[in-house]
Chain A
Amino acid sequence: MWKSLTKNDNSEMVIALAGQPNCGKSTIFNAVAGFKVNTGNFSGTTVSYTETEVYIGGRTVRLIDLPGTYSISANDVAERVARDYLLSGQVDVIINVVDSSLLSRSLELTLQLMEMNVPMVIGLNMIDDAQKKGMEIDIPALTSLTGLEAYPLIAVQGSGVHELFDAALKVSENSFHRVPPVYDRDVEECIARIEARYPSTLKERLRVDTRFVIIRLLEMDEEFEKLVSEVDGDFLEYVVENRRFLAEVHDWPESGVFASHRHALVLDLFEQVVAVRSRTGTSLSEKIDRFVINPVGGLAATVGVFFLMFAVSFWFGNLIAGLVEAPLESLGAFLMSHTSGYTAMLVSGVYDGFTAGVGIVLPYLVPLLVILSLLEDTGLLPRIAFMADGLLHRFGLHGKSVVPIIMGYGCNVPAIMAARNLEYERDRIITMLMVPFIACSARTVIILALAGKYLGAGYTTLIYLGNIAIALGVSSVFSRLSADVSPGIIMDVPPLRKPYLHVVMRKVWVRIQEFLLFAWPVIAISSIALAVFSYVGIDDVINRVLSPITTFILGLPSDLGITLFLGIFRKELTLIMLNSALNTTDVSTVLSSAQLLVLVVFTVLYIPCVATISTLWKEGGLKVALLSIALNTSIALVVAGSLAFLL
């Protein structure tokens, strides 16, 4: 598996950003590579690695943004991604990013990375926060004690990033002189004993620093144990004997005895490099935080945020949609009067797609994205998790699922991936099955543009509440079916941070770009396809096939079959194709209020879109994907069908 920890050929240099969660790795990545990956003020924003080529210091290097990990012995799927990459033998230089304001905790990982003996520099990020805490870091002392160069940074403002990368390039060229961590005498003796018996077969098989391998074994790293047992079982037994001995002597559990010694080293190092001045006063963000972590304040903040999210999107969306309606209509009239036959069909397809984007989707999408981005950047997500944990327990989940659930209101795809932060498979699967019920931005546009506009705020709120209730019901049923119970939440709560306008704008822009580049063409093509279909008569076939569902169960016009079918590809399509399918500019003249409600409820709940299904498949396997399709579709049919029956 791991032939060696660094590669020996002269292909492109690989620099990996490694560090604990939420220390600013992705922010640094974006500062160098342009805005490519998402950032946010909570642990676990990044759950998969991203690589990009950057041109720095006169050469091209491959830069890798990794998920955060508290230690090399990864504890969840996202951390495993980081571990596997670091151990893959592809990395030439590690930039160990640390949150300077949490230096003692961060150094635990730094020492582990140092044990790998791969060229490395330290990026002391969030030096602004450290200063606010009254911390003074003696950087020359840190360098002389570890042999690693360290550079102060405020990544979110872009300061210090250049110096850090220059140093990273240099450390790979010149030889690398780390000062390897030296442990207590009895630990060192234990390592020496094991090293003396280190089999040469293992050295050939694993061209990795032997001391690193021994330390991994002393830390009960299962993967290394398995690898070593395949090569030399007796050696592994000898290591285990020594590990037990160490644990007994120190009266410590076998799994933690080595870490406890490293912890002692870290404390020692920390004391030598950090001086803390006492600080005065309470900052504004701390005052806000005190309010937010109060039961009353927290509840008010949570409810307020949700209210704001949908109310602002609705209000702003309606405003803009109303403003652009007239100009778009006159453009349409102009186009229709100047084209005929096939060209008219094409032009009207393109026109419909364009109108849908500008007039329907973007006005509602943009404010929603802004608010979601603010939620991510301020650090409110972990606080909502704190407030909601107790309630979620009643539905068999815990607070950590709040992050995927709220991200789901933006898009289900990253939300399902965010479930990688859950330590237990059971929690991860239940969360993955729950997320597709959350009304993503596409479905929110549908809710706001149909229910909000024609049925009013009351029904819209009911739809959202019903939606959440169904999602919680699903979680509750599955957690009862599952044999194990979740041990509960352990989650970092970073300080509240002020959001940066440029970050929010870039984040929103990336999502809009995605809409313009991928969704818009799909919409335009679908519009044209629909025009062609209706010209040739294929839409009739689809409508007739689906009519048992549309007319019999849901009591809707059979013409809607095609729009529901297209909605599987992109949920927005259902809304956008509505007018052309029904041949009207105002759906309320064709559909009754009851029918509109049934349509919205069904669209919100039925089959997840193609992108969501494929993500479920990748993250949870085919079974989870199929289960999710079956679950969503059957619940949609039952709920929307009963509404149609009752109303």
Chain B
Amino acid sequence: MTLLELKEGDTAVISRVSGGKGVSARMAGLGLHAGKKVRVVRAAPFRGPLLIEDISSGARTMIGRGIASHVEILNEKR
């Protein structure tokens, strides 16, 4: 399952970031590593990015849908 399949308000744990070295390095830089628990705060209109919150720090990052589809996640729950 990927981040893209989550709905607003859902939480999940990142299990793997694929999609090339650049993308995973950027994600890691923003603190979005495997093992991190995140929440989808909002999905932007017009198929825009997802606003993701790192639950432990409260830091927010927007991630385009193309990239979100490369972020694998575990155990989704509401």
A interface residues with partner B (beta carbon < 8 Å): 20, 70-71, 73, 75, 101-105, 108, 133, 220, 253, 255-256, 259-260, 263, 293-295, 298-299, 382, 385-391, 393-394, 398-399, 423, 487-495
Give 26 A-B contacts (CB < 8 Å), ordered by A residue.
A101-B58, A102-B57, A103-B57, A105-B30, A108-B29, A220-B21, A253-B24, A255-B21, A260-B34, A263-B33, A293-B51, A294-B42, A387-B45, A389-B48, A393-B47, A399-B49, A399-B62, A423-B22, A487-B20, A488-B63, A488-B66, A490-B62, A491-B62, A493-B61, A494-B60, A495-B60
* Complex Cα spacing A492 to B28, Å: 12
A382 touches B62 (CB 8 A): yes
At the interface, yes or no: B1 with Cβ under 8 Å from chain A? no
For residue B56, which residue of chain A has the nearest CB? A104
By a CB distance below 8 angstroms, the chain A residues around B49 are 386, 389-390, 399, 488-489, 491
A490-B26 contact, Cβ under 8 Å, with A105-B57, A389-B62, A399-B49? yes
Q: Which of B22, B46, B61, B65 contacts A492 (CB 8 A)?
A: B61
B62 touches A398 (CB 8 A): no
B interface residues with partner A (beta carbon < 8 Å): 19-31, 33-34, 41-42, 44-49, 51, 54, 56-67
**Majority secondary structure of chain B interface residues (helix, strand, loop or mixed):** mixed
By a CB distance below 8 angstroms, the chain A residues around B33 are 259-260, 263
A490 touches B67 (CB 8 A): yes
For residue B63, which residue of chain A has the nearest CB? A490
* Complex Cα spacing A295 to B61, Å: 17
Q: Which of A71, A105, A253, A385 contacts B62 (CB 8 A)?
A: A385
A378 to chain B, nearest CB (A): 15
- With A388-B48, A390-B47, A490-B26 known, 20 other A-B pairs at CB within 8 A are A108-B29, A255-B21, A255-B24, A255-B25, A293-B51, A298-B44, A299-B45, A385-B62, A386-B51, A390-B49, A423-B22, A487-B23, A487-B67, A488-B64, A489-B62, A490-B63, A491-B61, A492-B30, A492-B60, A493-B61
A390 touches B45 (CB 8 A): yes
By a CB distance below 8 angstroms, the chain B residues around A491 are 49, 61-62
B64 touches A487 (CB 8 A): yes
Q: Which of A20, A385, A387, A493 has the most CB of B within 10 A?
A: A493
By a CB distance below 8 angstroms, the chain B residues around A492 are 30, 59-61
For residue A252, which residue of chain B has the nearest CB? B34
A387 touches B48 (CB 8 A): yes
A398-B64 contact, Cβ under 8 Å, with A70-B30, A256-B24, A487-B20? yes
By a CB distance below 8 angstroms, the chain B residues around A71 are 25, 28-29
Q: Which 8 A-B pairs have the closest CB atoms?
A: A488-B64, A70-B29, A390-B46, A390-B48, A105-B31, A493-B60, A389-B48, A488-B66
* Complex Cα spacing A580 to B45, Å: 50
Q: Which of A103, A299, A398, A492 has the most CB of B within 10 A?
A: A492
By a CB distance below 8 angstroms, the chain A residues around B61 are 490-493
* Complex Cα spacing A439 to B67, Å: 32
A487-B28 contact, Cβ under 8 Å, with A104-B57, A260-B33? no
By a CB distance below 8 angstroms, the chain A residues around B19 are 487
B36 to chain A, nearest CB (A): 9
B59 to chain A, nearest CB (A): 5
By a CB distance below 8 angstroms, the chain A residues around B51 are 293, 386, 493
* Complex Cα spacing A391 to B49, Å: 11
A295 touches B45 (CB 8 A): yes
* Complex Cα spacing A104 to B56, Å: 9
